[in-house]
Each structure stands twice: as structure tokens, then as C-alpha cells.
Amino acid sequence: MNKFMNYITDEKNFKIVVPMIAVFSAFLVGTIIMLVTGENPLEAFKAILRAITGMNLDKIGTDKFFNSRMFGEFITTMLPITLTGLSVAFAFRTGLFNIGAEGQLMMGAMAATVVSILVKAPVFIHLPLVILASILAGALWGLIPGYLKAKFNMHEVVVTIMLNYTALYTSNLVLKALPGSDSVKTVKSQVTGTLRSEFLSDLTNGSRLHWGFVLVIIAVFAFWYIIEKTTFGYELRAVGFNKEGARYAGMKVNLNIMYSMAIAGAFAGLAGAMISVGTFDYGRVIAASEGYGFDGIAVALLGGNTAIGTIFGGALFGGLKASQPLMQSNGVPLEIAKIISSLMVLFVAMKFGIQEILKRQRLLAAKKEAK
């Protein structure tokens, strides 16, 4: 058996191999869909490459070949998605399915906007207040389904979905009520209350890259530390593995469920700040959810609910999202990016199936060799 087959069918490597197969299969099916519907997959792939690396293959040899702004925009797009990924992954570790990252993000974005517009303080007080507000708002919004789950055994999936819609209208209501808002956006945030940076923007040829990336790195580290290095994280994981077992071992299961949802909400709330005081410097009244929460689900699943995995997943989905406008200008409907990302979730969901196929391949190969 050749080395490649041996590697991918080895159970030890499934953690990396299975997501890779899922990603590959999703791109494959996406390509087939494009071919069948008469679109050019090459244009889609060129758009993705350009979005992630800033390299435009159509302009090889000219000074327009590389544009660092694309790369800056890619990182900017990746930041909130990585954080909602952490949010979903954190809840997953406790055996909870947080479909509510979207709503928690909206509440975080709203709180950050409110504090950045209304509070007047020097930057070293103002900015931490803005960030704290987003984290708290997200945590509180996450605590609601956590509390209802712990207290009434209500399924967090239905509750968080309802809270997503509630958050949409609540945040729109509040943003519109701020002084100077019109029906689509608020006034500009005060400079002391945003993450935006002329320096980072200049560095990347005028992209919207902001200081939020520092906070995301801290968040990834915090996720890893809480889950892997603290007793609290151990308890959360224990509840995720076996709720009754954890209860029997004397752990406060219900309390842990509430903490877990609140922390998951905190990550998503911070993601909201990335958008409202990072990418933009004003609050936006939006008509419908933008799918960050669902991207987070995909990111968490692809990343195997680990901190490192979430970074890779965040990069992949950030790239797909950032490539959408480029696809449109290349003449490919941008929804193909959404189709590919949803196919990734579908293929990750099939992980047991993929594992079984791999195991069968290994058995077959072993039999052949025995002959």
C-alpha cells in the first residue's frame, strides 16, 4: 500500500484527514454544480485565491498582480468568523449546540456601538469599556438559553434560534434610537472608542484591517487555556462527555451549562465588536442576519472544536466570505461560496461515514497484501 493511502486510512490521523476530505469533497461538489449550471469554476477559484493572498492571476507580470489590501480585508473578514467559531466550539465542548452565536454577536455589536458613541473618555478607558460592553452583552444573551436549559430543560437549539430573531429586532430598535441615527445606520463612533487604525490600514494599501486581531489572538489563547488547562474546563468537558456521569461525580452540571453558554456568548459578543467598532466605525441597522453564527458552526465543526482548528476553519471561511464580491465581478454568482461552505458542514456531519469508508479501505488493502 502506498504511503499516501496508508496515512489517510490510519485512524490516528482521522482528526486531520476527515476535515480535509470534507473540505475537498465540498469544493468538488461545488465545482460540479458550477459545471452543470454553466458557470466557470476557474473564475471562482481565482476569486478565492485572490481574496486570500491578494494575488490576481489575470494580472501576472503587471504591477496590479499583488494587492495587499485584499489580504488586509481577508484578515478583517476572518476575525468575527473565528470568534463565532470559538463560541460554537466552546458550547460544543459542554455538549451544547449554540445556534445563537448570531444573536449574541448582534447584541455585542449593539453594546459596543452604544458605548462607543455615548461615552466620552480617553482612549485607554474608552476602548476597554467598549470591548467589555460587547463581551458582557454577548455573555448575557448566551446566559438566557443556558439558564432556560438548566432550569427548565428547554432545548438550547430552539431557544437560541428564537433569540437570534429577537436580537435582530432589539439591536435595530436600540441603534435607531441613538441620537443622530437614520433608518440604516448610526452616527460615527468617537475615535477613542474604535479599533480602527490608520497605521494598519496604510500598511495594507487602505484595507479596513484593525487592532481587533490582537483581541482574537488573546481569545484563541483564552479558549485553549480554559478548556485544556483549568479544572473548570475539565468539568465542562466532562459534562459534554457524559452529563449523568459528571452529575454523579459531584459536578454542578446545571451551573456548568449556564457558565458554558455565557462564555460562548462572550466570544460571540466580542465578534460583534470586531464588526461594529472594527470593520465599520458606525452601527448598522440590518434587515436580516448576516450568517456569522452559521459560519461559526461550520468553523467549529471543521476545527474539531479546538482552538488551533478554529483558526484554520476561520481562515477558510473568512477566505470564502471575502471572495464573494470578487466572484460576482468574475461573473460567478457569489452564492456558490455559501453552497461550498454549507457542503463542508454536510460532509463534516458525515464524518462517521467517511471514517468507515477509510477503515474499509484499510481492511481491503490489508487483505490484498496478505494474499
Partner 1 sequence: MFTIDTLFSMLSLTLIYATPILIASLGGLLSERSGVVNIALEGLMMIGGFAGATATVLLQDVFPVAVTPWVGVFIGMFFGALISVIHAYVSINLKADQVISGTAINLLAGGLTIYFAQIIFNQQRTETFRNGFVKTNIPFLREIPILGPIFFTNIYYTVFIGLALVVAVWYVVYKTPFGMRLRATGENPQAVASMGVSVLKMRYYGVILSGAFAGMAGAIMVLTQDTQYTGVSIHGTGFIALAALIFGKWNPWGVLGASTFFAFSQVFAIYANNFEWAQSFPLEVFKALPYVLTIIALIIFSNKSVGPKAAGEIYDVGKR
Binding site for partner 1 (CB under 8 A): 33, 37-39, 97, 99, 148, 152-155, 157-159, 161-163, 165-166, 168-170, 172-173, 176-177, 287-288, 291, 294, 297-298, 301, 333, 335-339, 341-343, 345-346, 348-353
C-alpha–C-alpha distance, residues 110 and 72, integer Å: 24
Give residue 179's Cα distance to chain centre: 32
Nearest approach in angstroms of CB 371 to partner 1 is 30
Nearest residue (CB) to partner 1, 102 versus 235: 102
Nearer to partner 1, 130 or 174 (CB): 174
The secondary structure element, H or E, covering residue 284 is strand 282-284
Q: Are 51 and 70 in contact (CB under 8 A)?
A: yes
The residues near 76 (Cβ < 8 Å, ≥ 6 apart) are: 207, 208, 209, 210, 212, 278, 279
* Minimal distance, residue 123 CB to partner 1, in Å: 32
In 3D space, the residue among 288, 317, 282, 258 whose CA is nearest the CA of residue 84 turns out to be 317
- Taking the least distance from each CB to partner 1, the nearer of 45 and 294 is 294
Query: Nearer to partner 1 by C-beta: 105 or 345?
Result: 345
Do residues 18 and 355 lie in contact, with contact meaning Cβ atoms separated by under 8 Å? Answer: yes
For the bound state, the minimum distance from the C-beta of residue 33 to partner 1, rounded and expressed in Å, comes to 8
Query: Please, what is the minimum distance in Å from the beta carbon of residue 29 to partner 1?
Result: 10
Identify the residue whose cell numbers are 484591517: 209
Q: Which is nearer to partner 1, 32 or 218 (CB)?
A: 32
Compare residues 271 and 297 and give the one whose CB is closer to partner 1: 297
Residue 196, strand partner residues? 210
For residues 87 and 266, give the distance between their C-alpha atoms in angstroms, rounded to a whole number.
Answer: 8
Residue with smaller CB distance to partner 1, 325 or 353: 353
Q: Nearest distance from residue 175's CB to partner 1, in Å?
A: 10
What DSSP line would sit under 140-187, residue for residue? Answer: HHHHHHHHHHHHH---HHHHHHHHHHHHHHHHHHHHHHSTT--SSEEE
Q: Shortest Cβ distance from residue 165 to partner 1 (Å)?
A: 4
Minimum distance, C-beta of residue 145 to partner 1, in the bound complex (Å): 9
What minimum distance in Å lies between the beta carbon of 151 and partner 1? 9
Q: Read out DSSP for 285-349?
A: --SS--SHHHHHHHHHHHTTT-HHHHHHHHHHHHHHHHTHHHHHHTTS-THHHHHHHHHHHHHHH
Residue whose CB is less far from partner 1, 53 or 342? 342
Question: What's the gap between Cα 127 and its chain centre?
Answer: 23
In the bound complex, what is the minimum distance in angstroms from residue 157's beta carbon to partner 1? 6
Smallest distance from partner 1 to CB 126, Å: 28
Q: How many residues does the chain have?
A: 371
Which residues are bridge partners to 284 per DSSP?
A: 185
Q: Give the nearer residue to partner 1 in terms of CB position, either 216 or 340.
A: 340
Contact 58, 46 (CB under 8 A): yes
- Residue 282: helix, strand or coil by DSSP? strand
State which residue, 192 or 290, has the beta carbon closest to partner 1: 290
| Residue-by-residue DSSP string for 53-89 | H-B-GGGTTSTTSB-HHHHHHHHHHHHHHHHHHHHHH
